[in-house]
Amino acid sequence: MITTTTRQKTLRGHLPGRHTARVASSVEHQAMLASRLTTRDKWLLALLHEHRVLTSFQIQDAAFPSDRSTRQRLLDLHHWRAVSRFQPFQQLGSAPMHYVLGPAGAAVLAAEHGLEVKELGYRHDRAMGIAHNQRLAHTVGVNDFFTSLIARTHHSQASEALTAWWSESRCARHFGDLVIPDGYGRWRGSRREVEWFLEFDTGTESLTKVGRKLAGYARLAESTGIATPVLVWLPTTRREAGARIALARVHAGLDDPNSVPVATAAADLLAPAAPHPSPAEAIWLPLTSARPGRASPRYNLADLADAWPGLPPPTGAEDSEDEAGDAAGASPYRLPPPSPIPPNATPNRVARGSR
């Protein structure tokens, strides 16, 4: 190093540079992306727009078969400025790479729906702002809940699938005047579907505040005439025990407790050695007494509706979106929620003359 005259930038000269923001917004760059982006890539861009941030592990659970294919494709998307990324500070070890929608990806999404980028409500600085947001861990935790269900969908031998996933921001636009769930989901089992609102607890809120949220869900049920279960996810069984006391106190005081079915579960109930642990397992404990004759008081996600015999089946996801949008006056320029089931991977191109 003392005698060499080679400049550092020369050593890196063979690596392709990342496109600048000006180039990424150009017509030529959009034309290039038209020949490069697959259907699965565009689905991932829509997922990032809806849910703000996803880690590389979550993206792999949702859409890719291996870590290698995930890293290779995300590197391409980052190079094309379809996605942007950051790595939060972690005191021990290193955090996974976190991905948000990039400026070129936002332009692709907007063009697909005949909109301008500003009509998406997208700004690159706001998208990257999640890196310093105090709710980053909470947002990543909620997204981990749902992406683990998508992974379960891929690897399940039964006909189970996550069929709907709304973000907190979408729930806020539809129900924010009454309550703001951390997410909305729908799970299809072998016999029926169950829908729910998610309350994701990280252990930072007081248990009293967790319990008070049920009053908002009671007002929502009264307004819509729909009894939708509320699933409360907690970090430990010890906190779950305390939360159930606070929830039961508020639940018993509701005018119509049956309009707000509640169940709780804790993350430490999942078997860490399981190949694909997810909230679909038999870890859910209804707030009211379980049905007699069961071997275990806890239900898996597919059978959770059996804990509330009077619970009607959910309506269609499209109908729920339309009704909620009409009630809340949602902006017509907002994109519809992306399907939680990714499209199939695009086969490799066949070279000319190889057939």
Pairing of strands 98-101, 161-166: unpaired
Task: Verify that 152 and 252 share a domain, yes or no.
Answer: yes
- Residue 306 in domain: yes
pLDDT digits (tens, 9 = 90+) for 302-316: 999 899 988 888 876
Q: Is pLDDT above 60 for 45?
A: yes
Q: Are residues 224 and 299 in the same domain?
A: yes
Domain boundary among 103, 133, 163: 133
Does residue 122 sit in the same domain as residue 138?
Answer: no
Query: Which of these three, 133, 161, 182, is where a domain ends?
Result: 133
Q: How far is CA 40 from CA 75, 275, 341, in A?
A: 15, 24, 10
The predicted pLDDT at position 19 comes to: 66
Gap between the Cα atoms of 338 and 164, Å rounded: 8
Q: Are strands 98-101 and 285-286 parallel, antiparallel or unpaired?
A: unpaired
Residue 5 forms part of a structural domain:
no
Considering the domain architecture, whether residues 105 and 191 belong to the same structural domain is answered as no
Same domain, 159 and 259: yes
Please report where in the chains the tokens 């989901």 appear, as a residue. Answer: 185
Q: What is the pLDDT of residue 6?
A: 55
What confidence score (pLDDT) does residue 334 get?
75
Shared domain check, 251 and 284: yes
Torsion angle of C-alpha atoms 267, 272, 278, 281, degrees rounded to 10: -90
DSSP letter for 123, please.
Answer: -
Distance CA 52, CA 45 (A): 10
pLDDT greater at residue 140 or residue 1: 140
Question: What pLDDT does residue 199 have?
Answer: 97
Is a pLDDT exceeding 70 seen at residue 290?
A: no
Q: Which tokens sit at 337?
A: 């929620």
pLDDT band at 27 (very low <50, low <70, confident <90, very high): confident
Least confident of 1-10, 124-133, 263-272: 1-10
Residue in the structure block whose two tokens are 């490069």: 36
Give tens-digit pLDDT for 170-229: 999 999 999 999 999 999 988 889 999 999 999 988 988 889 999 999 999 999 999 999
Cα(326)–Cα(174) distance, rounded to whole angstroms? 9
320 to 179, 226, 315: CA distances (angstroms): 16, 11, 7
- Looking at the domain assignment, is residue 203 inside a domain? yes
| Mean pLDDT (whole number) for 86-103 | 93
Give the confidence band of 144 by pLDDT, cuts at 50, 70, 90: very high
Q: For residues 143 and 128, state if they share a domain.
A: no
Residue 49 belongs to domain spanning: 18-133
* Together in a domain, 203 and 242: yes
In a domain, 31, yes or no: yes
Which band of pLDDT confidence, cut at 50, 70 and 90, is reported for residue 20?
Answer: low
Alpha-carbon torsion 113, 115, 118, 124, what sign? positive
In a domain, 196, yes or no: yes
Q: Is residue 13 part of a domain?
A: no
The answer to whether residues 19 and 93 touch, using CB atoms and an 8 Å cutoff, is no
194 and 304: one domain? Answer: yes
**Is there a domain that residue 111 lies in?**
yes
Residues 256, 301: one domain? yes
Output the pLDDT for position 324.
46
Number of domains within the chain: 2
pLDDT at 315: 73
In this prediction, residue 291 has a pLDDT band, given cuts at 50, 70 and 90, of low
What is the rounded average pLDDT of the residues 41-63? Answer: 96
* Same structural domain, 157 and 219: yes
- pTM comes to 0.87
Instruction: Give yes or no for residue 10 having a pLDDT over 90.
Output: no
The mean predicted confidence, pLDDT, of the chain is 86
Question: Is residue 352 domain-resident?
Answer: no
Q: Say if residue 92 is in the same domain as residue 168.
A: no
* Displacement of CA 163 from its chain's centroid (Å): 12
Q: What is the CATH number of the domain that holds 97?
A: 1.10.10.10
Residue 251 and residue 308 in contact, taking contact as beta carbons nearer than 8 Å: no
Highest mean pLDDT among 28-32, 78-82, 202-206: 78-82
Q: What are the residues facing 263 on neighbouring strands?
A: 231, 286
pLDDT at 354: 46
Residue ending a domain, among 133, 163, 184, is: 133
Q: Using CA atoms, how far apart are residues 175 and 171, in angstroms rounded to an integer?
A: 6
